[in-house]
Amino acid sequence: MRKLFNKINDTWLSFRKWSDGNIFGYLISNIVKLIFTLAIFILIFYSLFIIGPFKDKTLSDSSVSDSSTEDPNCNIAGINLHGELKTYIPNHADNDTSFNYDTVSSENITGAIKNANEDPKIKAVVVEVDSPGGSPVAGEEIANAIKNSDKPVVAYIREMGASSAYWAISSASKIFASENSNVGDIGITSSYLSDAGKNAKDGLTYEQLSAGKFKDAGNTDKPLTAEERALFMRDVNIVYQNFIKDVAQNRNIPIDKVSSMADGATVLGLKGKELGLIDVIGGLPEVEQYLGKIINEKPDICWQ
């Protein structure tokens, strides 16, 4: 390599000496310099304005492609409704040791349904349910998102689809459940544990300093008055009737029939089918078989 470099260097020095004493050599030397300068300019321009943007676009396109789905054959969006149902999960949850991590939010589930509707590759949505329920508002939000979905939404209950979790999927086009699963639990509760008796025993006195007759109603450190109880029961019964009404509409069951079964208890899947709370006894294999029929192709579920 060193010999080659020395040879190239000697050749260049010889050319410089010749060009300095010869008019034609001088012209050729300047032409070579001009060509070399243009070559460098073209190389810089190509690097900055051609290769750079193309490389960035390639990376960007790759990122977008990877973020949509890892499976190019995916045609079913799978959504898990597992654990206690809330409207949202707070930002601090990751670092909060007291937070119940077995929690799911209607915010995330309705967002996933929206994304599935906007993805042209997705033909249908399946919601897997294993939840004791939670927030009535969260259940209502998911039920409305399913009801307004442009693509069919199928639900299947594994071990439990109770209370607001059942409310959430009551509007699905088809509900599957194991014959041994817990289904229903149409009822509302705002019950809580009062510390008033314990406080009195410990010599603690609740000092009420509030403006507004019912401002601190339901505070666990004081007894619940008859008037406060009536206030809470008024709202509990309103939500209860809304729950019954939605299940009746979503499942196409007469409202008086739903009212008669709305005792706050779950029933096993087989009884749930008899009552009209679910449609089919089965699990994921039966769900996939049904999905294949409604989309007319082999279902490939991408779970989110």
Reported as a single tens digit per residue, the pLDDT across 124-139 is 999 999 999 999 999 9
173 and 295 co-located in one domain:
yes
47 and 77 co-located in one domain:
no
Q: How many degrees, rounded to 5, is the angle at CA 173 between CA 172 and CA 177? A: 70
97 and 34 co-located in one domain:
no
78 and 149 co-located in one domain:
yes
Reported as a single tens digit per residue, the pLDDT across 147-161 is 999 999 999 999 999
At 62 the pLDDT is 37
173 and 196 co-located in one domain:
no
* 204 pLDDT more than 90: no
At 293 the pLDDT is 93
* 273 pLDDT more than 80: yes
By C-alpha distance, which of 99, 158, 133, 153 is closest to 265?
Answer: 133
- Quote the pTM value: 0.74
77 and 177 co-located in one domain:
yes
Distance of CA 288 to the CA centre of its chain: 21
pLDDT tier at 261 (50, 70, 90 boundaries)?
Answer: very high
Span 270-275, average pLDDT: 95
At 221 the pLDDT is 86
Number of domains, the chain: 3
* 17 pLDDT more than 90: no
Scanning the structure block, which residue is given the tokens 């705002």?
Answer: 190
225 and 116 co-located in one domain:
no
What CATH number is attached to the domain comprising 280? 3.90.226.10
Distance of CA 120 to the CA centre of its chain: 18
Reported as a single tens digit per residue, the pLDDT across 56-112 is 444 444 333 343 445 677 899 999 999 999 999 877 656 666 666 678 999 999 999
* 252 pLDDT more than 90: yes
Q: Which two tokens stand for residue 269?
A: 């899947």
60 and 160 co-located in one domain:
no
Q: Which two tokens stand for residue 217?
A: 């109603």
By C-alpha distance, which of 76, 195, 193, 196 is closest to 128?
Answer: 76
First-to-last alpha carbon distance for the chain, in angstroms, is 58
Task: Collapse the DSSP code of 22 into the 3-class scheme (helix H, G, I; strand E, B; otherwise coil) and give the result.
Answer: coil
At 192 the pLDDT is 87
Span 40-47, average pLDDT: 65
79 and 218 co-located in one domain:
no
Amino acid identity, residue 161? G
178 and 195 co-located in one domain:
no
At 209 the pLDDT is 87
> To 10 degrees, the CA torsion angle through 162, 129, 285, 253?
50
* 23 pLDDT more than 80: no
Higher per-residue confidence, 290 vs 19: 290
Q: Print the domain residue range for 87.
A: 73-182+273-304
At 6 the pLDDT is 55
Handedness of CA 30, 35, 38, 39 (dihedral sign): negative
Q: How far apart are CA 215 and CA 209, in angstroms?
A: 10
At 65 the pLDDT is 37
Task: Collapse the DSSP code of 152 into the 3-class scheme (helix H, G, I; strand E, B; otherwise coil) and give the result.
Answer: coil
pLDDT > 70: percent of the chain = 74
* 24 pLDDT more than 90: no
Sequence-distant (≥ 6) Cβ neighbours of residue 186 within 8 angstroms: 163, 166, 243, 244, 247, 258, 261, 262, 263, 264
Span 195-208, average pLDDT: 87
